[in-house]
Amino acid sequence: MLHLHWAALTRLLVPACFVSGALMVREYLPALSENTQIVLAALPYLVAAICAVMAYQFRRVRLLLAALGVAALYWLIQNHLQVSLDHPDAARLYLVASLAVPLLCLYLLVLPERGMFNTWGLLACVFFLGSAGACFALADLILGASAGVSQAFAHRPVEGYILSIGASQLLALVAVAGIAALLLRNAEAEGPLLGVLAAGFASLAFLHLESISVVMGIAAGLCLVWGLLRSSYAMAYRDELTGLLGRRALNERLASLGKRYTIAMLDVDHFKRFNDKHGHDVGDEVLKLVASRVREVGNGGTAYRYGGEEFCIVFPRKSSEDCAAALDEVRERIADYKMSIRDRRSRPARSKDGARRRGATRIRSDQVSVTISAGVAAREEDGQDAESVILAADSKLYKAKRSGRNRVVF
Ligand SMILES: Nc1nc2c(ncn2[C@@H]2O[C@H](COP(=O)(O)OP(=O)(O)OP(=O)(O)O)[C@@H](O)[C@H]2O)c(=O)[nH]1
């Protein structure tokens, strides 16, 4: 079943603040001294360079290419589009930019992140540069096309708005595709890339406004820096497979808990047997689904992946009794959930066989389900540390396993 990450939409708030903040700040720039304006005019390059270095360090090829794109667009606007667009060369370059912003953003939005120093990363860069070059050819095609087409891509369709109808529609389509990618993938790069798209749109649509490219260049760079900081946080604190917070985050949380709290340790039942039967890949998929249910625990609990097939939930300021209903609900929801898993081991090894068999019968889709057991312990006395509460919860978990599994023991 398609799972949409609605909460990921909140990741658009920060880019939206950067872009709208930049629009507001722009009005005050003319009042600044000439020297300050010179420094400001260099800032988009500086921020893009910082992004590029960070993206290189974190091996984020999409954000690296986006930083290069932001710097290139700013350079183009500063050096070639500060003249009237009635000049044919300027009009052509403007058309190239208004095609390149949505098309290159679309490319980066759909590109999977698979590292930088490999064939994939190299091809991703080459294709990005090739697509940028193709926008010149596309612009020439449009300029030489029928009156209807070139009219749709003619700049200044209405007073105070420069971007053509065609490019505006393209941008809107890419924005929708970007939001869909954010909802589906829940990855870190989509929010910043949509911020870059919005900043690119504002730079082009309101090109006549003074300093628009400066403030939007800075806003786009800040969106990328923000994305890279989020991604470095995720690398340090989140478990890659499930997206839950990991051990490092748990240890920090345990060190800062107050006097009253409850900890639950959860473990998938007979997971070794499950892995042996369905394979490690299917096991991974099931762990992700279990994690998504554990994450939704109510009553103020925060879920962590403790390691392997074990999860930990921390309920601050709660007694064991307070958490009983929320934990039992998680257990029940996992036990009741039938997961459709494409059994990869039933896939034919050779692609030719696969094509033949797919024509005749569909690849088997198995329904599987798992259960979890949980042990719960609360901090009971002053001086008791979090490790001993975890140990107590662990021993209750052991009891839950011995008494038949698929249960919560307090
Ligand atoms: N697929 C997958 N399996 C994992 C992962 N981490 C741990 N495991 C597997 O989880 C299984 C845990 O097995 P055990 O600790 O023996 O426990 P169990 O089979 O779940 O049995 P009980 O806990 O007694 O119900 C092992 O087979 C591990 O290989 C992971 O990230 N992915």
Residue 266's DSSP bridge partners are: 311, 374
> Is any atom of ligand 1 closer than 6 Å to the C-beta of 287?
yes
Spatial contact of 352 and 13, defined as CB atoms under 8 Å apart: no
- Which distant-in-sequence residues (6+ apart) come within 8 Å of 8 by Cβ? 182, 183, 186, 190, 191
- Give me the number of domains the chain comprises: 2
Out of 113, 188, 190, 309, which one is annotated catalytic?
Answer: 309
Q: What is the rounded average pLDDT of the residues 289-303? A: 94
Does the pLDDT at position 226 exceed 70? Answer: yes
Q: What is the rounded average pLDDT of the residues 111-128? A: 90
- Atom 6 in ligand 1: which residue has the minimum CA distance? 308
Give the domain-ending residue among 218, 237, 256.
237
Q: Three-state DSSP class for 238? A: strand
ipTM score assigned to the predicted complex? 0.96
Per the structure, the complete domain to which residue 111 belongs is given by 6-237
Q: What is the rounded average pLDDT of the residues 95-104? A: 97
Q: Which is the closest atom of ligand 1 to the Cα of 269?
A: 25
pLDDT tens digits along 51-79: 999 999 988 999 999 999 999 999 999 99
Q: Give me the chain's average pLDDT, please.
A: 91
- Atom 15 in ligand 1: which residue has the minimum CA distance? 272
Give the domain-ending residue among 207, 237, 267.
237
Statement to judge: residues 204 and 158 lie in one domain:
yes
Statement to judge: residues 281 and 403 lie in one domain:
yes
Instruction: Give residue 342's pLDDT.
Output: 64
Statement to judge: residues 144 and 291 lie in one domain:
no
Give the domain-ending residue among 202, 237, 272.
237
- Atom 32 in ligand 1: which residue has the minimum CA distance? 284
In a domain, residue 220? The reply is yes
Does the pLDDT at position 14 exceed 70? Answer: yes
187 against 40, higher pLDDT: 40
Q: Three-state DSSP class for 310? A: strand
> Is any atom of ligand 1 closer than 6 Å to the C-beta of 401?
yes
Residue 135 pLDDT class (50, 70, 90 cuts): very high
> Is any atom of ligand 1 closer than 6 Å to the C-beta of 270?
yes
Q: Which is the closest atom of ligand 1 to the Cα of 268?
A: 20
Statement to judge: residues 324 and 233 lie in one domain:
no
- Atom 12 in ligand 1: which residue has the minimum CA distance? 272
Statement to judge: residues 97 and 216 lie in one domain:
yes
Q: What is the rounded average pLDDT of the residues 112-139? A: 92
pTM for the structure as a whole: 0.75
Q: How many CB atoms lie within 10 A of CB 247?
A: 14
Is 309 tagged catalytic? yes
Statement to judge: residues 96 and 33 lie in one domain:
yes
Q: What is the rounded average pLDDT of the residues 114-142? A: 93
Statement to judge: residues 208 and 286 lie in one domain:
no
Instruction: Kindly give the distance from the C-alpha atom of residue 403 to the centroid of ligand 1, in angstroms, as a whole number.
Output: 19
> Is any atom of ligand 1 closer than 6 Å to the C-beta of 284?
yes
- Atom 28 in ligand 1: which residue has the minimum CA distance? 272
pLDDT tens digits along 356-379: 444 333 345 678 889 999 999 999
Statement to judge: residues 176 and 267 lie in one domain:
no
In a domain, residue 1? The reply is no
Ligand 1 pocket: which of 239, 244, 266, 271 to mutate (most atoms <8 Å of CB)?
271
Instruction: Give residue 17's pLDDT.
Output: 97
> Is any atom of ligand 1 closer than 6 Å to the C-beta of 271?
yes
- Which distant-in-sequence residues (6+ apart) come within 8 Å of 120 by Cβ? 114
For residues 100 and 129, give the distance between their C-alpha atoms in angstroms, rounded to a whole number. 11
Statement to judge: residues 206 and 304 lie in one domain:
no
Statement to judge: residues 173 and 110 lie in one domain:
yes
Instruction: Give residue 361's pLDDT.
Output: 36
